[in-house]
Amino acid sequence: MNTSLWRLLAPIAIALLPALLHVIDKVLETISPITKETLRSLMVKDKRTRAIGENEALYEAVRTYFDFERDCHFIFVLTVFGVLSLYAAQSECTESFVEFTAVTLIMIVILLIFLGIFFVMLVNRKIEAASVGATDWWRRPTLIKWWKMVALIAFGVVIITDVVLHFSCVRTEDAGH
């Protein structure tokens, strides 16, 4: 295979791993032998969680918090991998670990601001765990689904930027030939 193609595929594969991990996690949730009923029956057997396992409404309320935590982790991982992917792409493009292209610097700063705002809203409890399944458009900043969608869109832009940088940068090895 062409070395240029390998140099392109490796960073993209590394960058796509968080999204792939999320997809694998969702697939395993659907085909897992540990169903909702199995988990509830296990909770009933434990005296610390018996009340939650015996009551379907309580169990669903607690389960919402697990979904919320998983979504928060996904947003964090996707954003951090986006920053690292851009950093790797700019390092390859500029052949320096400290020199940035304008595009990658701006995108890294935007992603870090996004992550900072997400954490501030999370710590200040502006993003509600109880709204995991909500779709109220007027509450978008408080919905975890909205943050997840923005993180996915930003990640798509990162991947496109990585590919464009890979093909548009002039490296010293390319310039010598």
Cβ(43)–Cβ(50) below 8 Å: yes
Full-model pTM? 0.73
Side chain identity, residue 21:
L
| Domain boundaries along the sequence of the chain | 3-24+67-169
pLDDT of residue 41: 87
pLDDT of residue 60: 82
pLDDT of residue 2: 65
Write out residues in the chain with pLDDT < 70, as ranges.
1-8, 10, 133, 137-138, 170-177
Task: Report how far residue 51's alpha carbon sits from residue 53's, in angstroms, rounded to the nearest whole number.
Answer: 6
Tokens of 119: 């954490």
